[in-house]
Structure 1
Amino acid sequence: MDKTLLKGLRVLETINELDGQALTIEQLALQVGLTRSNTHRTLQSLSHAGYVYRDPVSGGYRCTLKLFEMGARLLFSLDVRSLAAPFMRELADQTGESVHLSVLEGMDVVYIDKIDSPQPIRAYSVIGGRAPAYAVATGKVLLSFQPADYLVQYQSVLQQHTASTHIDLAFLRNEFRQVQLRGYAENHGEWREGVGGLAAPLLNGLNKVVAALGISGPLDRLSPEAMTRMAPLVLRSAQALSSQLGYRGEYFDLPKE
Structure 2
Amino acid sequence: MSAGEKSGIPPILVLQKFRQVLECFTIAEPCLTLQQITKKTGLPASTSQRLVHNLVREGFLDRDEDGYRIGLGLVRWAAPGTFGLDMVRLTRPSLQDLRDATGETACLYVRDGAYRTVVSIADTHHVVMRLFMVGMVMALHAGSAGKVFMAYDPLARSAAVSHGLSRHTARTVVDIDLLDQQLEEIRKLGYAASFEERDLGAASVSAPVFGLTGELVAVLGIGAPTQRLTPSDVGALAPKVVAAAEDASRRLGYRPGTR
Check 1:248–1:154 CA distance in 2 against 1; reply closer, same or farther (3 A cut): same
Q: Deviations over 1:71-113 (max 9, x none)?
A: 5433222111101111111111110111111101111110001
Matched ranges for 1:166-205 at <5 A: 166-205=173-212
Which of 136, 144, 152 does residue 137 from structure 1 map onto? 144
The answer to whether the 8 A contact 1:203-1:210 is kept is yes
The answer for the alignment partner of 1:86 in structure 2 is: 93
Where 1:240 maps in the other structure, the secondary structure is: helix
**Structure 2 alignment gaps of length 5 or more:** 2-53, 64-71
Q: TM-score, normalised by structure 1?
A: 0.69
The answer for the alignment partner of 1:227 in structure 2 is: 234
Question: How many percent identity over aligned positions?
Answer: 27
**Displacement, 1:167?**
1.3
**Structure 1 alignment gaps of length 5 or more:** 2-9, 20-62, 253-257
Check 1:152–1:76 CA distance in 2 against 1; reply closer, same or farther (3 A cut): closer
Query: What CA distance in whole angstroms lies between the structure 1 residues aligned with 2:155 and 2:118?
Result: 24
The answer for the alignment partner of 2:216 in structure 1 is: 209
Q: Tell me the number of residue pairs that the alignment of Structure 1 and Structure 2 aligns.
A: 204
Query: What CA distance in whole angstroms lies between the structure 1 residues aligned with 2:168 and 2:57?
Result: 40
Which of 165, 171, 175 does residue 172 from structure 2 map onto? 165
Check 1:251–1:196 CA distance in 2 against 1; reply closer, same or farther (3 A cut): farther
Query: What CA distance in whole angstroms lies between the structure 1 residues aligned with 2:199 and 2:166?
Result: 13
The answer to whether the 8 A contact 2:186-2:192 is kept is yes
The answer to whether the 8 A contact 2:113-2:160 is kept is no
Query: What CA distance in whole angstroms lies between the structure 2 residues aligned with 1:82 and 1:90?
Result: 14
Query: What CA distance in whole angstroms lies between the structure 2 residues aligned with 1:135 and 1:251?
Result: 29
The answer to whether the 8 A contact 1:151-1:169 is kept is no
Query: What CA distance in whole angstroms lies between the structure 2 residues aligned with 1:143 and 1:105?
Result: 12
Q: Is 1:246–2:253 an aligned residue pair? A: yes
Matched ranges for 1:42-191 at <5 A: 68=76, 71-147=78-154, 150-151=157-158, 154-191=161-198
The answer to whether the 8 A contact 1:197-1:215 is kept is yes
RMSD between superposed Cα atoms in Å: 3.2
Where 1:112 maps in the other structure, the secondary structure is: strand
| Larger Rg computed on CA atoms | 2
Query: What CA distance in whole angstroms lies between the structure 2 residues aligned with 1:163 and 1:195?
Result: 13
Letter aligned with residue 241 of structure 1? A
**Displacement, 1:135?**
0.8
Query: What CA distance in whole angstroms lies between the structure 2 residues aligned with 1:174 and 1:248?
Result: 28
Query: What CA distance in whole angstroms lies between the structure 2 residues aligned with 1:220 and 1:149?
Result: 31
**Displacement, 1:155?**
3.0
Check 1:149–1:135 CA distance in 2 against 1; reply closer, same or farther (3 A cut): closer
